[in-house]
Structure 1
Amino acid sequence: MRYAIISFTVHGAKLNRKLGELLEDAKGYHLSKYKEEGLKGVEGSLKEWTKMNFKDYEVLIYIGATGIAVRAIAPFLVSKDKDPAVLCIDELGQNVIPLVSGHIGGANGCAKYIASLIGGRAIISTATDLEGRFAVDEWAVERGLILTDLKKAKSIASDILKDKTIGFVSDFPVEGKLPKQVLESSYGEIGIYIGYDKGKKPFKETLWLIPKGLTLGIGCRKGTSFEQIERLIRGQLEKLDIPIEAIGKVVSIDLKQEEQGLLEWATHYHKSISFYSAHELNQIEGDFTPSSFVKQITGVENVCERSAVKGSDGGKLLLKKVALDGVTMALAMPYYTVTFEREGLR
Structure 2
Amino acid sequence: MTYLLEEKVEPPIKTFHDYALVAITKHGVTLARELQKTFGGTDLYYMKKFEKGDEAEKNIQLFEGSVRLLLPSLFKHYKGIILIISLGAVVRMIAPILKDKKTDPGVVVIDDKGQYVISVLSGHLGGANELTKEVAALLGAQPVITTASDVQKTIPVDLFGKRFGWEWESAEKLTPVSASVVNEERVAIVQESGERGWWEHDRPLPGNFTCYSKIEEALQHVHDAALVITHRNLEPKEEEILRNGVLYRPKVIVLGMGCNRGTPAQEIQAVIQETLDELGFSIKSVKGIATIDLKKDEEGLLETVSKYNWNLTCFRPEELNAIDIKEPSETVYKYTGAYGVSEPAARLESGAETLELVKKKSGNVTISVAVIPFQ
When normalised by structure 1's length, the TM-score is: 0.61
**Residues of 1 paired with 2:121 and 2:128: CA distance?**
13
Larger CA deviation: 304-313 vs 325-334: 325-334
**Residues of 2 paired with 1:160 and 1:313: CA distance?**
34
Q: Which residue in the other structure is 1:9 paired with?
A: none
The 1:191–1:65 alpha-carbon spacing in structure 2 relative to 1, beyond 3 Å, is closer
- What secondary structure sits across from 2:172 in the alignment? helix
**Quick check: 1:96 aligned with 2:140?**
no
Q: Which residue in the other structure is 2:282 paired with?
A: 242
**Residues of 2 paired with 1:318 and 1:251: CA distance?**
15
Q: Which residue in the other structure is 2:60 paired with?
A: none
Structure 2: tracts of 5 or more residues without a match = 1-18, 33-45, 48-62, 110-117, 213-217
Q: Which residue in the other structure is 2:36 paired with?
A: none
**Residues of 2 paired with 1:232 and 1:87: CA distance?**
41
Residue 123 (structure 1) shift: 10
Q: Which residue in the other structure is 2:206 paired with?
A: 179
The 1:123–1:263 alpha-carbon spacing in structure 2 relative to 1, beyond 3 Å, is farther
The 1:159–1:289 alpha-carbon spacing in structure 2 relative to 1, beyond 3 Å, is farther
Q: Does the 8 Å CA contact 2:133/2:143 hold for their aligned counterparts?
A: no
- What secondary structure sits across from 2:291 in the alignment? strand
Q: Which residue in the other structure is 2:8 paired with?
A: none
Q: Which residue in the other structure is 2:187 paired with?
A: 166
Within the candidate set 93, 97, 110, 1:68 is matched to 97
Q: Does the 8 Å CA contact 1:104/1:138 hold for their aligned counterparts?
A: no
- What secondary structure sits across from 1:204 in the alignment? helix
**Residues of 2 paired with 1:5 and 1:174: CA distance?**
31
- What secondary structure sits across from 1:232 in the alignment? helix
**Residues of 2 paired with 1:299 and 1:22: CA distance?**
42
**Residues of 2 paired with 1:48 and 1:157: CA distance?**
27
The 1:274–1:23 alpha-carbon spacing in structure 2 relative to 1, beyond 3 Å, is closer
Residue 209 (structure 1) shift: 2.2
Cα deviations by residue, 1:156-194 (Å, 9 ceiling, x for unpaired): 322233332112332358567433211124123442332
The 1:265–1:137 alpha-carbon spacing in structure 2 relative to 1, beyond 3 Å, is same
| Amino acid in structure 1 at the alignment position of 2:207 | K
Q: Which residue in the other structure is 2:341 paired with?
A: 303
| Amino acid in structure 1 at the alignment position of 2:121 | I
Residue 289 (structure 1) shift: 5.8
When normalised by structure 2's length, the TM-score is: 0.57
Q: Does the 8 Å CA contact 2:119/2:128 hold for their aligned counterparts?
A: no
| Amino acid in structure 2 at the alignment position of 1:209 | Y
Within the candidate set 192, 196, 201, 2:231 is matched to 196
Residue 309 (structure 1) shift: 0.8
**Residues of 1 paired with 2:128 and 2:360: CA distance?**
37
Q: Which residue in the other structure is 2:173 paired with?
A: 152
The 1:226–1:105 alpha-carbon spacing in structure 2 relative to 1, beyond 3 Å, is farther
Q: Does the 8 Å CA contact 1:278/1:299 hold for their aligned counterparts?
A: yes
The 1:211–1:95 alpha-carbon spacing in structure 2 relative to 1, beyond 3 Å, is closer
Structure 1: tracts of 5 or more residues without a match = 7-16, 31-39, 75-79, 89-93, 338-346
* 1:192-341 mapped onto 2 (5 Å cutoff): 192-199=227-234, 201=238, 204-205=241-242, 206-237=245-276, 240=280, 242-244=282-284, 246-285=285-324, 288=326, 293-294=331-332, 297-314=335-352, 316-337=354-375
- What secondary structure sits across from 2:302 in the alignment? helix
The 1:167–1:3 alpha-carbon spacing in structure 2 relative to 1, beyond 3 Å, is closer
The 1:105–1:96 alpha-carbon spacing in structure 2 relative to 1, beyond 3 Å, is closer
**Residues of 2 paired with 1:222 and 1:23: CA distance?**
35
Q: Which residue in the other structure is 2:10 paired with?
A: none
State the number of aligned residues. Answer: 285
